[in-house]
Amino acid sequence: MLNYFKIAANIVARFLKAVYDLISFGVYIIQLTIRDLISTVTNPFLRNRPVGNVIPRGYPGHGGVWPEYTAPKRGEDSRSPCPGLNALANHGILPNNGKRITYAQLSHAIQYAYNLAPTLASQLTSAAKQLDQGRGWIDLHDLNVLNVVQHDASFTRPDIAFCPDQSIPHTDLINRLLDHASDGKHLSLTDFSYYSGLRRVECKRSNGQYTLSGSFIHKMIGSGTSALMYSIFGGDIEALRAWLVDERFMDGWEPKNREALGHTIAQALTTSLAVEFSIDEKQALREGDVFYHE
């Protein structure tokens, strides 16, 4: 027989938890926004970090000197669909095995390695927290799920419908992206927008489980990736090739974004929106381009 008192108590408890979670999330968003706006407004009045000192002294990557690169052991080490996190693990900035990484470790590592404002690092880390099971940590492979970090029409991986293991870079796709640099050396925002449009059309045609069509938020995940590759790497195709294919940092590389307080959410969002609203899925293909069938 059903215990109606217990059912009622559970309803009340779940309702109160939902209210608490909503209030906590609202407070988090408000304080994050205020802090980010302060950093965004203050950055232009501060001197940029000097070349060679974008990453502070004492932190991995200072002066372009990175810890030794160790390729992951397939079947043993945990890796994600995100080259930015995988590179940090491959250089030992995050645990090399990619396992039991706390959210504080994650946020701290991406903040300093990529010169991000603490607010942007916190926002990016919050995506991983969606998968938290009350443990307080994740394995990188936990991010191998649709529309958290990984998304359809990716530049570096086939859609998850065709490639369930999203932890391994797809070299052909990456080289194809880099070949779209208009000047042969750097991917511009126009190049990123064009290639995004190309990938979306071909993935929509070939993937019966394509998820981006009706979701602006998920489209912005892809455009946000483009924005960060442009801002952090300056679109440099050789630095990007090492980062995307081998998931490592080139010797001597440091972030191109040199803001004193780090790259902020507002800055990243502005660039992401510029990329997204420049995407035209009905565009004419560039000479030599054809649609890739996964």
Q: In angstroms, what is the C-alpha Rg of the chain?
A: 20
Residue pair 92/70 in contact (Cβ under 8 Å)? The answer is yes
Nearest to 181 by CA among 155, 143, 212: 155
Element (H, E) at 138: strand 137-138
Residue 75 pLDDT: 86
Residues linked to residue 116 through DSSP beta bridges, in sequence order: 263
The structural domains of the chain, with segments of one domain joined by +, span 1-45, 46-276
**Nearest to 87, CA basis, from 65, 70, 105:** 70
> CA-based angle 262:129:242, to the nearest 5?
55
Extract the residue ranges of the chain whose pLDDT is less than 50.
Answer: none
Report pLDDT for 294.
58
Q: For residue 23, what is the DSSP state?
A: H
pLDDT of residue 168: 93
Token readout for 66 is 């990175």
pLDDT of residue 134: 80
Q: 46-276: which CATH number, 1.10.150.120, 3.20.10.10, 1.10.489.10, 3.40.50.1100?
A: 1.10.489.10
139 vs 125: CA distance, rounded Å: 13
In the chain, where does DSSP find H-type helix? 4-42, 83-90, 103-113, 118-129, 171-178, 189-206, 216-233, 237-241, 265-276
Instruction: Determine if residue 266 is left, alpha or beta; phi over 0 gives left, psi from -120 to 50 gives alpha, anything else beta.
Output: alpha
d(CA 231, CA 10): 48
User: CA 154, CA 152: separation in Å to the nearest integer?
Assistant: 5
Of the candidates 101, 69, 98, 95, the residue with the CA atom closest to the CA atom of residue 81: 98
- Residue 146: predicted pLDDT: 75
